[in-house]
A and B are shown apart, each in its own frame.
Chain A
């Protein structure tokens, strides 16, 4: 009995991990685009990207999830709930990932550009060889923290009918009638997924200052 409950939760946890991984991947790609647009694109596009980040970060994810869940059918789009959730969360967290990458790129001193140019690199080379490697080191900790936030927020997918770790807790709780242990179990599940990310983030943070 206990074993089946645990297996069930582990199943839900693996769905959570896969959802989070997909969202992290999508939001990183989009976020990188946003960051580059905000920093180096044609000025009107920069403003647009900044506006996107500002607006996205001012609306609750739950509202976006619910909004799309209700609106998409009217647009004639019928996406499976997971796909819709991944797309919505991907675009939502792109705003955050964008800030992570932009912050890291801006933290590389301007003199590094000049240094690269003085060695004869052209802009794109300069960016790839001199700037990006330095920025990559700087963005690891904030990237991990944002990823942790993604994992926690995948729990909201249950609110639009997706099945993942949080849903297993609700189901087990309702079936066994023991809600407290069920939700504590779910909390433990999230903790086990997030803890390594948090540890890694603070490890990287500590060791990047030295």
Chain B
């Protein structure tokens, strides 16, 4: 492997990596919050609200991110909206992963016994406080590993933004591949950088899981 070449392409890839990190970070935060909205809708006391949320989850689960990105980027201009490519990437990732995060939260909440809520209510807590202070902390701890895996999925799916020319890591690599004659080096470098980011995400989750262990 040609190390001089590697050093030459590294700055280009690192520029792409910056955008990948930004995409992923924004999508992570957006999906973490969006998931709360989804789970609230899914557990709403109003049947119509539950129905709308179920339909939303259904649509998101059953269509590819690629299609969603194209609808946002190429479809929206037809109705007079012109979002930037980067924004389209973030929004598509948030839309799709809010649905997944919501379902993960819900699984966590449903795994906490009803008696925990009853104990909290019997101490005079309002239902919302019982949920946020007693049930959610336990639920989130239980689903931390699943959330960690989903975070890696978000990181990986951010590469799909390359299809609408966001010059994140994948697009940066593709451009290099297009004009250089050394495909392996570029490819391995890209893969290594993604792996490093995935390792950081999973490591972060492990740290959280260590700091907030599941207790029974």
Q: In the bound complex, do residue B162 and residue A74 qualify as a contact, i.e. CB atoms below 8 Å apart?
A: no
Check if B67 is an interface residue, CB within 8 A of chain A. yes
CB neighbours (8 Å) of B155 from chain A are: 60
Q: How far is the CA of A158 from the CA of B78 in the complex (A)?
A: 23
Closest to A184 in B: B71
Task: Say how far B5's CB is from chain A's closest CB, in angstroms.
Answer: 14
Distance in Å from the Cβ of A142 to the closest Cβ of chain B? 12
Closest Cβ of chain A to B118, distance in Å, is 22
CA A119 to CA B183, docked complex, whole Å: 57
Chain B contacts with A in 164-182, Cβ cutoff 8 A: 170, 173-174, 177
Q: Which of A59, A66, A178 contacts B194 (CB 8 A)?
A: A59
Given A62-B160, A156-B160, A179 and B63 touching (CB < 8 A)?
no
Please judge, given known A-B contacts A60-B159, A70-B187, A74-B184, whether A152 and B170 are in contact too, CB under 8 Å: no
**Given the known A-B contacts A66-B173, A70-B183, A191-B63, are A178 and B195 also in contact in the complex, defined by CB atoms under 8 Å?**
no
B140 at the interface (CB under 8 A from A): no
Partner of B198, one of A58, A66, A74: A58
Q: What class of interface size applies to chain B in its complex with A?
A: 35 or more
In the complex, chain B residues whose CB is within 8 Å of the CB of A169: 67, 70
Contact B177 A190 (CB under 8 A): no
Specify which of A62, A153, A178 is in contact with B78 (CB 8 Å cutoff). Answer: A178
Binary flags per residue of A168-190, CB closer than 8 Å to B gives 1, else 0: 01100100001110011011001
- Interface residue? B75 (CB, 8 A): yes
Q: A183 touches which one: B71, B156, B160, B163 (CB < 8 A)?
A: B71
The answer to whether A173 and B59 have CB atoms under 8 Å apart is: no
Asked if A60 meets B67 with Cβ closer than 8 Å, knowing A71-B187, A74-B184, A159-B163, the reply is no
Q: Contact size class for A?
A: 35 or more
Main secondary structure of the interface of A (DSSP, over half): helix
- Check A166 against B66 for contact (C-beta < 8 Å): yes
Q: Which residues of B contact A74 (CB under 8 A)?
A: 183-184
Given contacts A58-B195, A186-B67, A190-B63, contact A66 B174 (CB under 8 A): yes
User: What residues of chain A lie closer than 8 Å to B71, measured between beta carbons?
Assistant: 180, 183-184, 187
| Partner of B75 from A71, A153, A179 at Cβ < 8 Å | A179
With an 8 A cutoff between CB atoms, is B199 at the interface? yes
Taking a contact as CB atoms under 8 Å apart, the answer to whether B74 and A173 are in contact is yes
- Chosen A-B contacts, 19 in total, with CB atoms closer than 8 Å, are A55-B195, A57-B152, A58-B152, A58-B199, A59-B198, A60-B155, A60-B157, A60-B194, A74-B184, A148-B61, A148-B62, A152-B64, A166-B64, A169-B70, A178-B78, A179-B74, A180-B74, A190-B64, A191-B63
Which 9 A-B pairs have CB atoms at the shortest separation, nearest pair first? A58-B198, A194-B62, A180-B75, A60-B159, A67-B187, A60-B156, A152-B64, A155-B64, A70-B183
Using CB atoms and an 8 Å cutoff, list the residues of chain A in contact with chain B. 55, 57-64, 66-67, 70-71, 74, 148, 152-153, 155-156, 158-159, 166, 169-170, 173, 178-180, 183-184, 186-187, 190-191, 194-195, 198
